[in-house]
Amino acid sequence: MDNRRDFLKKSLLTLGAAGLGTSLASAIDFSTGAKAKLSINKGDVILFQGDSITDAGRNKQNLKPNDGNAFGNGYAFMAASTLLNKYADKDIKVYNRGISGNRVPDLINRWQEDALDIKPNILSIMIGVNDFWRTMDSGAKNTPAEYKAQYKQLLDSTKSALPNVKLIIIEPFGVKNVKHVTDAWFPEFPKYQNVAKEIAQEYGAIFLPYQQIFDQGLKRNSDGGYWTTDGVHTTMAGANLMAEAWLNLIK
């Protein structure tokens, strides 16, 4: 019964992200990265990678594609569900390998098994908020320049192993004045966001500007707690906002 309730809850959450090409696209400037949208082809393998925002409570013992239990309840689940419905004739496989707390060095350490061995045609990476956040709450030492060097190492190995992979580089975001995200995050955090943008440009990736997307969301509901629980992790509304924006990258 609990599994059935969980399934029904996720199914209802996904309905709001079910439309490709929604009005959000007209409100967001995607020109900060590659302008071309992605096509979904027969047999494509799509991989969502990142930290807790992508993880979203997934069952890490379940490594299957196209399985709700392996996706958690965040934006990756909502986007993947819509893709599997919209492209039912394409026989695609969609994976989630986000892990809570990860930084770029964590991705590097597990990249072979959790990315390269999967051989994705489309690879979506959302990483960076912890690379900055740990400098605030744990005294970690990691400058924007170091973050960029580590990110480049990750993508160099990716392009070497998967030269034709289509990359989506996602901007880390923070909604101000919600629990953890205070004025103390600024102006340092935007430097990490700029790195993600620069990385996308340098590697010919599509850049997904989630900071701008959440800023637009705040114009519709100015309560940051409506979109996130702590300035970073999303509510139902925030996860749906993210999924909608991700799906707008697809033709």
Question: Would you name the residues annotated as active-site residues?
Answer: 52, 230, 233
Q: Which residue has the tokens 């807790």?
A: 52
Cα-Cα-Cα-Cα dihedral of 63, 69, 74, 79, to 10°? Answer: 80
CA dist 173 and 216 (Å) reads 13
Angle at 72 between CA 61 and CA 232, to 5 degrees: 125
Q: Residue holding tokens 């998967």?
A: 162
The answer for residues whose C-beta is within 8 angstroms of residue 113's C-beta and 6 or more apart is none
Calpha distance 157→164 (Å, rounded): 13
User: Buried (b) or exposed (e) across 90-107, using 16+ Cβ within 10 A?
Assistant: eebbbbbbbbbebbbebb
Structure tokens at 231: 């300035």
Q: Assess contact for 43 and 90: CB atoms under 8 A.
A: yes
Q: Residue 45: enclosing H or E segment and its boundaries?
A: strand 45-50
